[in-house]
């Protein structure tokens, strides 16, 4: 009954494996100290890390009920090897973080010490989901923790164990992927993918390890259970290990009873192993498992009290091992008819070749990469998605991802309309096509040069007289109370200095007879910034830092009486700003004829919308380019 309750809770809690934007009422931070953000978040509240990179100099004691959630996998690093999050309170959730450790170290006496990501002791109702862990001694250590769920996480370069639960009751460890587990040479000889207990008398009870994937655990056991009762290993995959695939052993302290070991895949991967087996030393069931054993080790299923049934030992070169379940599935509605899906790519003993996507529990499409744009959807409609990975041999992951749900934006007057979109993908000439479908072709003036950009082509402006004009008033693109301007820019040269941002070189905005809504670059009040500006009878402005010669994504947003600035998909500032006083001026890209104030550098992918875009849509625009162009797919990893 306890296990059934946990599995039901897991399904209900997984309705959105990743968050597209910070939940309402969150304490939102984009930089600075996580400890300060935690202290400023009330008990029972949500601390949301909206992108960014954070460096921790000491462990954070999570001593109150809280949800800590990351948007866009914010990166958290250590200044030395210590425990990042020490959970001492009940009802804690940690979700969507990219945690990077200080390096694999040998754990003293085989313990889970050194660089660790998350540990919890004597608490209940802990949920760890949708995170990334890299370069730790241990990923998650649970000690006397009850009612825990560790699911949908991706771990790599772990020296001792991905997840350790000792002792603990009523836990679920589900759909996690661990790649490269084990010590570096002199660091020791015992390492585990998952461990239900440690030696020395600690006892766990009613813990389910299901649908997990371990790749490269070369020194000890993929799945380990010492001295514990009712530890269940179901539908797990283990590829390449050194001693035993799954070990449930009684060390003279506690008889192991009632454990289920069913439908697991164990693969020696060519290593000379000691046993290559699933073994029990107490009562329990070993049914319908498969072990692929290469020459150099034995293959077997051992239980002293219950006869194993339906198990298979096999040799040969046929690929029978399924790939891992994809992790980190995210769904973002970018319009009234489109939802974009992304996930962390699966791993396999050979190679993952494709993914099956299911929508509302029905097969939708097979794709080759770890992303998909689902178009042609109905407005204001909720859709549920799941993904299955496949390899060239036709093996499919043992289960689908945890389902995620997303609702398309409203249609009609409530929808989001793109009113202008200049990609600058031309290679020459004096015309810049408008991809919004509104026919607002730009005219390239002054000899601005087309050149490769952040995605496909961009346009380089010389800071003398280069610009793009549209002949269309800004009021045709945005209203006086709402609108969004988005672009990629790479400033070059020295910044100008002015008293107000509207006199600075303008990247985009109303460019004639006065400037009332602009994105510009230069020094104001001694600060060298990229500025967003709106004139509502007063000078409303916000600035962000930038690096000369580097691409940066900037969004100007005006909505509900506020002016916002976004940098690289993350909100970086907000200030009150009323209706724009005048919008009759013509839109111009790359400068302003009133001044004049010409921009120096490259500009790409300029978009304008007639409303203030939701944060998740702005993030999706950024991710659409950032993930494809700055981080292209890596070549396949060659396994030795």
pLDDT tens digits along 256-310: 345 666 667 666 544 444 444 555 444 456 666 776 654 445 566 666 666 777 7
pLDDT at residue 185, as a whole number: 41
Q: How far apart are CA 270 and CA 262, in angstroms?
A: 23
- Per-residue pLDDT for 500 more than 90? no
Q: Output 619-623 pairs: Cβ under 8 A, ≥24 positions apart.
A: 619/20, 619/21, 619/51, 619/71, 619/72, 619/332, 619/569, 619/570, 620/20, 620/332, 620/334, 620/340, 621/334, 621/486, 621/553, 621/555, 621/569, 622/553, 622/566, 622/568, 622/569, 623/72, 623/342, 623/569
Q: Where are the alpha helices (DSSP H) in 69-140?
A: none
Would you call 39 helix, strand, or coil by DSSP? helix
Q: Output 424-429 pairs: Cβ under 8 A, ≥24 positions apart.
A: 424/450, 424/453, 424/457, 424/458, 424/459, 424/603, 424/604, 424/605, 424/606, 425/456, 425/457, 426/450, 426/457, 427/457
Would you call 247 helix, strand, or coil by DSSP? strand
pLDDT at residue 411, as a whole number: 59
pLDDT at residue 514, as a whole number: 55
Half-sphere exposure of 87 (CA within 13 A, CB side): 31
List the one residue out of 194, 205, 201 whose CA is nearest residue 170. Answer: 205
Domains of the chain: 2-314 (2.160.20.10), 328-410 (2.60.40.10), 416-627 (2.60.120.200)
pLDDT at residue 516, as a whole number: 82
pLDDT at residue 122, as a whole number: 83
pLDDT at residue 141, as a whole number: 76
pLDDT at residue 630, as a whole number: 33
CA 137 to chain centre: 22
Query: Is the alpha carbon torsion for 411, 416, 419, 420 positive or negative?
Result: negative
Provide the token pair at 444: 């390239």
Q: How far apart are CA 484 and CA 608, in angstroms?
A: 6
Q: Which residues contact 305 (CB under 8 A, 6 or more apart)?
A: 280, 282, 283, 284
Q: How far apart are CA 548 and CA 569, in angstroms?
A: 19
The proportion of the chain whose per-residue pLDDT surpasses 70, expressed as a percent, equals 73
Encode burial over 68-98: b for 16+ CB neighbours within 10 A, e otherwise: bbbbbbbbbebeebbbbbbbebbbbbbbbbb
Q: What distance separates the 2 farthest-apart alpha carbons in the chain? A: 89
Task: Return phi, psi of residue 383, to 5°.
Answer: -130, 145
Half-sphere exposure of 198 (CA within 13 A, CB side): 18
Pair type for strands 442-445 and 177-181: unpaired
Within a 10 A sphere around the Cβ of 235, how many other Cβ atoms?
Answer: 19
Q: Residue 624: which H helix or E strand, with range?
A: helix 615-625
Question: Which segment of 281-285, 416-420, 492-496, 522-526 scores lowest on mean pLDDT?
Answer: 281-285
Compute the 3-state secondary structure of the chain and give helix, strand, coil in percent, each to the nearest 5. 10, 50, 45
Pair type for strands 53-56 and 75-78: parallel
- What's the Cα-to-Cα distance from 407 to each of 417, 618, 619, rounded to whole Å? 17, 16, 16
Q: Which residues contact 30 (CB under 8 A, 6 or more apart)?
A: 49, 50, 51, 52, 570, 571, 572
What is the mean pLDDT of the segment spanning 136-157? 82
pLDDT at residue 605, as a whole number: 93
What is the mean pLDDT of the segment spanning 457-481? 91
**End-to-end Cα distance, the chain:** 44
pLDDT tens digits along 415-464: 457 889 999 989 899 999 988 878 899 999 999 999 998 878 899 999 99
Does the N-terminal peptide bond of residue 534 adopt cis geometry, omega within 30 degrees of 0? no
Q: What is the mean pLDDT of the chain?
A: 78
List the one residue out of 129, 22, 19 whose CA is nearest residue 570. Answer: 22
Pair type for strands 517-524 and 591-592: unpaired
Q: Which residues contact 109 (CB under 8 A, 6 or more apart)?
A: none
What is the mean pLDDT of the segment spanning 123-129? 91
Provide the token pair at 164: 């350790």
Q: How far apart are CA 559 and CA 478, in angstroms?
A: 11
pLDDT at residue 636, as a whole number: 31
- What's the Cα-to-Cα distance from 456 to each of 82, 339, 425, 549, 604, rounded to whole Å? 43, 23, 6, 18, 9
Would you call 385 helix, strand, or coil by DSSP? strand
pLDDT at residue 271, as a whole number: 43
* pLDDT tier, 253 (very low <50, low <70, confident <90, very high otherwise): very low
pLDDT tens digits along 187-232: 444 667 777 664 444 455 677 888 888 876 545 566 666 655 667 7
pLDDT at residue 602, as a whole number: 97
DSSP state of 627: I
Provide the token pair at 577: 């700003």
pLDDT tens digits along 588-636: 999 887 777 899 999 999 999 988 888 878 887 887 654 333 333 323 3
């Amino acid at each position: 009954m306890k296990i059934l309750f946990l599995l039901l809770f897991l399904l209900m809690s997984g309705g959105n494996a990743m968050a597209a934007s910070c939940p309402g009422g969150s304490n939102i931070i984009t930089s600075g100290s996580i400890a300060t953000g935690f202290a400023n978040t009330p008990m029972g509240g949500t601390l949301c890390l909206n992108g960014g990179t954070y460096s921790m100099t000491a462990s954070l004691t999570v001593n109150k009920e809280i949800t800590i959630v990351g948007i866009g996998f914010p990166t958290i690093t250590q200044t030395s090897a210590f425990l990042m999050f020490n959970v001492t309170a009940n009802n804690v959730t940690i979700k969507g973080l990219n945690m990077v450790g200080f390096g694999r170290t040998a754990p003293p006496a085989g313990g889970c010490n050194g660089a660790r990501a998350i540990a919890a002791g004597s608490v209940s109702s802990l949920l760890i989901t949708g995170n990334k862990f890299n370069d730790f001694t241990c990923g998650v250590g649970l000690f006397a923790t009850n009612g825990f769920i560790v699911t949908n996480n991706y771990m790599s370069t772990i020296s001792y164990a991905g997840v350790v639960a000792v002792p603990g009751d009523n836990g679920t460890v589900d759909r996690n992927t661990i790649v490269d587990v084990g010590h570096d040479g002199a660091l020791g000889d015992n390492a585990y993918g998952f461990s239900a207990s440690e030696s020395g008398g600690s006892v766990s009870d009613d813990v389910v390890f299901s649908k997990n994937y371990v790749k490269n655990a070369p020194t000890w056991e993929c799945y380990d259970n010492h001295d514990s009762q009712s530890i269940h290993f179901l539908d797990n995959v283990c590829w390449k290990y050194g001693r035993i695939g799954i070990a449930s052993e009684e060390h003279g302290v506690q008889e192991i009873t009632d454990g289920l070991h069913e439908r697991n895949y164990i693969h020696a991967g060519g290593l000379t192993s000691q046993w290559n087996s699933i073994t029990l030393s107490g009562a329990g069931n070993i049914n319908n498992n498969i072990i692929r054993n290469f020459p150099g080790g034995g293959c077997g299923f051992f239980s002293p009290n219950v006869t194993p049934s339906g198990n298979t030992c096999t040799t040969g070169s046929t690929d029978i091992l399924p790939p891992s379940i994809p992790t980190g599935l995210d769904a973002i509605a970018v319009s009234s008819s489109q939802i974009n899906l992304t996930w962390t790519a699966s791993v396999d003993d050979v190679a993952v070749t494709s993914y099956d996507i299911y929508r509302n529990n029905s097969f939708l499409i097979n794709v080759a990469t770890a992303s998909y744009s689902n178009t042609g959807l109905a407005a204001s409609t909720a859709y549920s998605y799941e993904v299955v990975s496949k390899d060239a041999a036709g093996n499919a992951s043992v289960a689908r991802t945890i389902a995620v749900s997303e609702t398309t934006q409203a249609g009609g007057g409530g929808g989001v309309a793109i009113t202008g979109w200049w990609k600058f993908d031309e290679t020459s000439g004096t015309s810049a096509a408008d991809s919004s479908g509104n026919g607002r072709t730009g005219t390239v003036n002054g000899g601005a040069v087309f050149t490769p950009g952040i995605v496909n082509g961009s346009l380089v402006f010389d800071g003398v007289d280069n610009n793009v004009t549209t002949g269309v008033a800004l009021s045709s693109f945005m209203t006086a109370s709402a609108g969004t301007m988005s672009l990629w820019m790479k400033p070059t040269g020295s910044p100008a200095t002015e008293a107000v941002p509207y006199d600075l070189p303008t990247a985009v905005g109303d460019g004639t007879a006065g400037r009332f809504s602009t994105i510009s670059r230069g020094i104001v009040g001694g600060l060298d910034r990229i500025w967003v500006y709106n004139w509502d009878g007063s000078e409303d402005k916000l600035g962000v830092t930038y690096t000369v010669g580097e691409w940066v994504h900037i969004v100007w947003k005006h909505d509900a009486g506020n002016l916002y600035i976004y940098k690289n998909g993350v909100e970086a500032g907000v200030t009150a700003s009323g209706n724009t006083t005048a919008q009759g001026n013509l839109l111009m890209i790359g400068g302003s004829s009133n001044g004049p104030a010409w921009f120096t550098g490259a500009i790409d992918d300029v978009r304008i919308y007639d409303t203030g875009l939701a944060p998740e849509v702005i993030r999706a625009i950024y991710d659409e380019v950032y993930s494809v162009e700055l981080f292209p797919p890596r070549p396949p990893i060659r396994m030795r």
